[in-house]
Amino acid sequence: MSNSDRKTYWDFFETASWICSRNEEKVAALGDRSDQDKLGSVISGMRVPMVMHSPPDLSSGRGAVMEPAAPEANGSTMDALHPFEDLLRKVHSRRVRMTAINFRDPDERQIEVPLAEMNDLEFRMIPGNRGVVAGLWSRSRDALVWRSPQFWRADVIGAWPPPRTKTAAVSAAILRHLREIMTPEAALTKTEAEQRCLAEVPNAYPGAFKRAWDQLEASYKRRRGKHGKRAY
């Protein structure tokens, strides 16, 4: 994955790290670490303590089933969702876009997982497997069928926004960035500008970009055509 792709997409571990921490520095710290190291970091950083319900079977490729730990001794319960289930729900609802590689595809293309398959899938982790450490498991086939899931970074941040981050503050940062990367002589289209801001401005998300774009002076915005209106 190129550096530019890393700004646009997060892998499974980076996504899980964000859901658990809402801290982009922690996500960035995963960097080029191995998937095994990323897995350990993600599990240790979960806000909901997890236990391994059934161990992985490396000979068959069966992943470990992770479930929330039992309620604490004082009787308190944990109302937070299992982070992987929450992620799968948001992918299923199209709120978070996901692509992956199907094991049956000889070209190993990164494609969107068909919606028709989603009800049959769950995320599984396979600690100790040198090939695939995390993937999508089919309940009906009892097999790992998709690997290397990726998620749109902007979708993930939008679905799990940073705590106490004000839209006004993020919009102000995006507006400053827009004025830096755009000039009347070299303007960007709205789509181009949004893609760059979501990738380059910390904690940026579509709603904050829209607010900043509306506030951006018209002189910065590229015309749609030689005689057309500006791209508001």
Q: What is the pLDDT of residue 96?
A: 94
Within-domain flag for 226: no
Query: What's the mean pLDDT in 129-154?
Result: 87
Query: What's the mean pLDDT in 41-70?
Result: 51
Within-domain flag for 118: yes
Binning pLDDT at 50, 70 and 90, where does residue 177 land? very high
- Residue (of 34, 41, 51) closest to 18 by Cα position: 41
| Pair 18, 82 in one domain | yes
| Pair 102, 151 in one domain | yes
**Which structural domain range is residue 45 located in?**
3-157
Per the document, the length of the chain is: 232
| Pair 136, 200 in one domain | no
| Pair 79, 51 in one domain | yes
| Pair 126, 175 in one domain | no
| Pair 61, 114 in one domain | yes
Residue 126 clears pLDDT 80, i.e. is over it = no
- Tokens of residue 117, six digits: 């398959």
Contacts within 8 Å (CB) and 24+ apart, 62-66:
62/124, 62/126, 62/142, 62/144, 63/124, 63/125, 63/126, 63/134, 63/135, 63/137, 63/144, 64/124, 64/125, 64/126, 64/127, 65/124, 66/125
Q: Express as a percent the part of the chain with pLDDT over 90.
A: 31
In angstroms, the CA 181 to CA 120 distance is 44
pLDDT digits (tens, 9 = 90+) for 211-231: 999 999 888 886 655 444 444
Window from 56-60, 107-111, 171-175 with minimum mean pLDDT: 56-60
Within-domain flag for 62: yes
Within-domain flag for 53: yes
Q: What is the pLDDT of residue 225?
A: 52
Last residue of a domain, one of 110, 133, 157: 157
Question: Is the pTM higher than 0.85?
Answer: no
- Residue (of 167, 185, 114) closest to 145 by Cα position: 114
**134: part of which helix (H) or strand (E)?**
strand 134-138
> Which ranges of the chain does DSSP label H, i.e. alpha helix?
3-8, 12-21, 24-30, 35-44, 83-92, 153-159, 167-181, 190-200, 206-215
Q: What is the pLDDT of residue 37?
A: 85
| Pair 119, 182 in one domain | no
Last residue of a domain, one of 157, 179, 209: 157
| Pair 210, 142 in one domain | no
| Pair 65, 150 in one domain | yes
Window from 32-46, 92-106, 129-143 with minimum mean pLDDT: 32-46
Q: Is the pLDDT higher at 6 or at 135? A: 135
Q: What is the pLDDT of residue 111?
A: 95
Q: What total number of domains does the chain contain?
A: 2
Q: What is the pLDDT of residue 45?
A: 64
Direct distance between the N- and C-terminal alpha carbons of the chain, in angstroms, rounded to an integer: 33
Query: What's the mean pLDDT in 197-208?
Result: 85
Residue 187 clears pLDDT 80, i.e. is over it = no
